[in-house]
């Protein structure tokens, strides 16, 4: 006589009958699959987490080599002090990044997911573009003129918009919206595959509008910010995709036949196309950087009122004179200009290292803060003339508006030069943390702050632009606060979204 196993009363109460009651493992197949996917997500390797730190070690070391042995000749009186200080700064950057390797990526405890934040940033960009482009247009420079003659657009911006400027209310509103505006491009690249078609169109309109706004200023810095950040977002997207592959394979490991859930069936092994993707992404990144350098060279040529094959005399013929190798002028000119703008700040740093310290009471790292604080105390130049760069201009004529000093003298105006080294080490720690938290792709504010931190490190040989001006400083500190406020420790991290359906 065949015996039937009775169904337990709790199962009946929950309405679990038939196959689900006889085989609870199979019944939980879909749920187990999703939970395993969340739990077995592979941890980021040390090499992945140290990637930006190692890159900037090479980048900054290359800048000091270009300063010492490049085509531009700089006259400094204390080379060994300068080189020792810069190398100590690089050691601090490495140690700060290494200190961030103790933890794995943190979770995200924000209320809104990345896709919702991305949509809000797109709307913010679309709202701010019309008035911004309108006031840019008051300089009587059309987009075609700005494209063909960036020098004229730049001079028109410096001369002002015929006495009209953006209204104070609009300026304040734009400054408040800056963190959201800075999120659009990096989040759009990382969240593109999840955006609906209509939002992709809006994102494209916002990006084109941002490019138009940048070109109307005649300055290459806005475009170069994109050139420097976009390749990092593309590489980050590649790493995110690579990290998801093992997770999907881990749930298809072969369990014993007796415990194999029927709902989980092995999937065919994915074809490994990672090398081809790496090569393709490397080519795309190089093309983006070269296009940015080409526009940079063209804009500087336009400022000299030159065009075509006309170049300033001091920017050509240096290859034969200095290295004995004759390069064509169209190669010499961009190499000279990029090297000059990349490395000239070390000359200002060299001279600032010889000046004694005078405290700026926390305002010296930012031109914006020094000017506003000066108005409060009744002397607009009180703090400016205490900072290293402005004191150097007073003593030697090394003009703050025309030449750079690296980031260190600006920070040292508040922290002293040893304190500036410690601050850079702290920023390296935050950069590594933001990069690590961005690898899973959950925290949109980690990604936004990552873009700002990357730009800060790119401009270390030039200036302290991320903290010196209103919109840049609000974006930097605002995204840092939002990232830290929505960070969740590894022990309590969870994968956002519904686990079981």
Residue 349 — very low, low, confident or very high, per pLDDT cuts 50/70/90?
Answer: very high
Residue 108: helix, strand or coil by DSSP? strand
Domain termination site, one of 256, 282, 307: 307
Domain termination site, one of 257, 292, 307: 307
Residues 6+ apart with CB under 8 A from 11: 17, 21
More confident residue, 13 or 398: 398
Residue 165 — very low, low, confident or very high, per pLDDT cuts 50/70/90?
Answer: low
User: How many distinct helices (H) and strands (E) make up the chain?
Assistant: 23, 2
Q: b vs e for 478-495, b when ≥16 Cβ sit within 10 Å of the residue's Cβ?
A: bbbebbeebbbeeeebeb
Nearest to 438, CA basis, from 497, 478, 483: 483
- Residue 204 pLDDT greater than 90, yes or no: yes
Structure tokens at 115: 């896709």
Nearest to 107, CA basis, from 486, 404, 406, 488: 488
Q: Is residue 446 domain-shared with residue 374, that is, in the same domain? A: yes
Residue 133 — very low, low, confident or very high, per pLDDT cuts 50/70/90?
Answer: confident
Integer Cα distance of 203 and 216 in angstroms: 20
Average pLDDT value over all residues in the chain? 81
Integer Cα distance of 205 and 66 in angstroms: 39
Q: Is residue 103 domain-shared with residue 158, that is, in the same domain? A: no
Q: b vs e for 76-115, b when ≥16 Cβ sit within 10 Å of the residue's Cβ?
A: beeeeebbebbeebbebbbebbbebeeeebbbbbbeebbe
Q: Is residue 177 domain-shared with residue 288, that is, in the same domain? A: yes
Integer Cα distance of 375 and 390 in angstroms: 17
- Residue 97 pLDDT greater than 90, yes or no: yes
Q: Is residue 297 part of a domain?
A: yes
State the sign of the Cα–Cα–Cα–Cα dihedral 215, 193, 444, 458: negative
Could you give the angle at which helices 114-137 and 197-217 cross, rounded to 10 degrees? 40
Residues 402-414 have pLDDT tens digits of 899 999 999 999 9
Q: Is residue 316 part of a domain?
A: no
Q: Is residue 404 domain-shared with residue 420, that is, in the same domain? A: yes
What domain range is 439 assigned to? 29-109+348-501
Q: Is residue 296 domain-shared with residue 357, that is, in the same domain? A: no
pLDDT of residue 62: 96
**Total number of domains in the chain:** 2
Nearest to 351, CA basis, from 320, 324, 319, 388: 388
Q: Are 481 and 447 in contact (CB under 8 A)?
A: no
Q: Is residue 142 part of a domain?
A: yes
Tell me the β-bridge partners of 108.
487
pLDDT of residue 322: 87
Q: Is residue 255 part of a domain?
A: no
More confident residue, 272 or 451: 451
Q: Is residue 16 part of a domain?
A: no
Q: What is the mean pLDDT of residues 225-247?
A: 81
- Residue 12 pLDDT greater than 60, yes or no: no
Q: Is residue 288 domain-shared with residue 434, that is, in the same domain? A: no
Using the structure block, give the residue that is written with the tokens 């759009």: 188
- Residue 21 pLDDT greater than 70, yes or no: no
Q: Is residue 497 part of a domain?
A: yes
For the whole prediction, is pTM greater than 0.85?
no
Q: Is residue 98 domain-shared with residue 188, that is, in the same domain? A: no
Least confident span in 62-76, 288-302, 331-345: 288-302
- Residue 488 pLDDT greater than 90, yes or no: no
More confident residue, 174 or 157: 174
Q: Is residue 315 part of a domain?
A: no
Q: Is residue 128 domain-shared with residue 218, that is, in the same domain? A: yes
Q: Is residue 283 part of a domain?
A: yes
Q: Is residue 88 domain-shared with residue 140, that is, in the same domain? A: no
pLDDT of residue 156: 64
Residue 161 — very low, low, confident or very high, per pLDDT cuts 50/70/90?
Answer: very low
Q: Is residue 118 domain-shared with residue 187, that is, in the same domain? A: yes
Q: Are 75 and 408 in contact (CB under 8 A)?
A: no
Q: Is residue 288 domain-shared with residue 360, that is, in the same domain? A: no
pLDDT of residue 302: 77
Q: Is residue 360 domain-shared with residue 498, that is, in the same domain? A: yes
């Amino acid at each position: 006589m065949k015996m039937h196993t009775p169904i337990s009363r709790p199962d009946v109460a929950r309405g679990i009958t038939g196959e689900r009651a006889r085989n609870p493992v199979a019944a939980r197949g879909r749920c187990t699959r999703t939970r395993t996917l969340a739990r077995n997500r592979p941890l980021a390797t040390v090499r992945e987490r140290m990637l930006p730190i190692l890159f900037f070690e090479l980048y900054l070391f290359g800048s000091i080599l270009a300063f010492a042995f490049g085509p531009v000749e700089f006259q400094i009186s204390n080379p060994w002090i300068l080189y020792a200080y810069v190398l100590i700064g690089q050691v601090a950057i490495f140690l700060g990044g290494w200190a961030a390797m103790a933890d794995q990526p943190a979770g995200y405890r924000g209320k809104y997911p990345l896709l919702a934040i991305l949509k809000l940033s797109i709307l913010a960009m679309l709202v701010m573009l019309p008035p911004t482009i309108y006031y840019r247009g008051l300089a009587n420079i059309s987009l075609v003129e700005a494209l063909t003659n960036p020098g004229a657009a730049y001079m028109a911006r410096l001369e002002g918009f015929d006495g009209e400027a953006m209204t104070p209310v609009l300026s304040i509103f734009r400054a408040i919206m800056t963190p959201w505006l800075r999120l659009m491009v990096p989040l759009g690249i990382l969240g593109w595959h999840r955006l609906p078609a209509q939002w992709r169109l809006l994102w494209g309109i916002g990006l084109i509008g941002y490019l138009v706004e940048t070109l109307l200023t005649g300055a290459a810095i806005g475009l170069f910010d994109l050139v420097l950040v976009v390749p990092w977002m593309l590489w980050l997207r590649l790493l995110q995709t690579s990290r998801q592959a093992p997770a999907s394979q881990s749930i298809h490991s072969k369990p014993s036949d007796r415990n194999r859930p029927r709902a989980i069936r092995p999937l065919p092994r994915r074809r490994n196309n990672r090398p081809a993707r790496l090569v393709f992404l490397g080519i795309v990144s190089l093309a983006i950087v070269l296009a940015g350098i080409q526009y940079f060279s063209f804009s500087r040529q336009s400022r000299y009122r030159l065009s075509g094959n006309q170049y300033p005399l001091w920017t050509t013929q240096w290859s034969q004179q200095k290295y004995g190798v004759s390069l064509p002028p169209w190669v010499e000119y961009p190499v000279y200009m990029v090297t000059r703008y990349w490395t000239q700040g070390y000359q200002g740093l060299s001279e600032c290292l010889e000046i004694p310290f005078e405290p700026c009471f926390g305002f010296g790292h930012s031109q914006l803060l020094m000017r506003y604080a000066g108005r409060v105390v009744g002397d607009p130049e009180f703090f400016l003339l205490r900072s290293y760069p402005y004191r150097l201009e007073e003593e030697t004529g090394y003009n703050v508006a025309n030449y750079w000093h690296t980031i260190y003298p600006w920070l040292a105006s508040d922290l002293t030069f040893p304190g500036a080294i410690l601050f850079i080490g702290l920023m390296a720690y935050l950069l590594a943390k933001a990069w690590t938290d961005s690898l899973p792709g959950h925290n949109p504010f980690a990604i936004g702050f990552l873009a700002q931190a990357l730009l800060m490190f790119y401009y270390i040989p030039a200036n302290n632009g991320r903290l010196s001006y209103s919109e840049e400083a609000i974006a930097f500190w605002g995204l840092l606060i939002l990232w830290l406020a929505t960070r969740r420790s590894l022990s309590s991290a969870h994968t956002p979204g519904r686990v079981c359906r």
